[in-house]
Amino acid sequence: MNDPSWNKYFLYPCVRSFDPALVVGWLADAFSSGDRLDRIGVSRLMFWLECWSEGHSIDATDLKTAIENTATKSNNLIELYFYRMALPEHADLFPGIPDGASDLQKAVCGNEDLETLLYNKLGWRRPEAPPTCG
């Protein structure tokens, strides 16, 4: 998997240079108008946005609402996994969605479309020992 910590090196200069509300609005727009890969990418920024907001005033409600609304329309396990990670305070919205990487890998095991998304498009590294499908 690509290292999500690199996201902060792009996000932090934006929220320092622009009004944080604008940045959240841009992210919400990018999320809402993007394809699945775009939505997953934007949702991965939530962690760093939340970290930044602990010492600053950032209202990410618009982005969180966009993620919640899209989550109710998706049945893609991987997409929902990332939304669950982006909204840990709303884990109840994601029943049955894995809460860890190894559990996600087990859940997608044997599903060619999900494996392609996870390993080829999102760049996760396949485990050396294939997970037990489950």
Q: What is the pTM of this model?
A: 0.89
Q: What pLDDT, on a 0 to 100 scale, did the predictor assign at position 10?
A: 83
* Mean pLDDT of all residues in 62-83: 95
* Mean pLDDT of all residues in 39-65: 84
Which residues, 6+ apart, have CB-to-CB distance to 108 below 8 Å? 77, 78, 114, 115, 118
* Mean pLDDT of all residues in 62-68: 95
Q: How confident is the model at residue 53 (pLDDT cuts 50, 70, 90)?
A: low
What is the distance between the alpha carbons of residues 90 and 102, in angstroms, rounded to a whole number?
Answer: 21
Give 58 or 70, the one with higher predicted confidence: 70
* Mean pLDDT of all residues in 80-88: 95
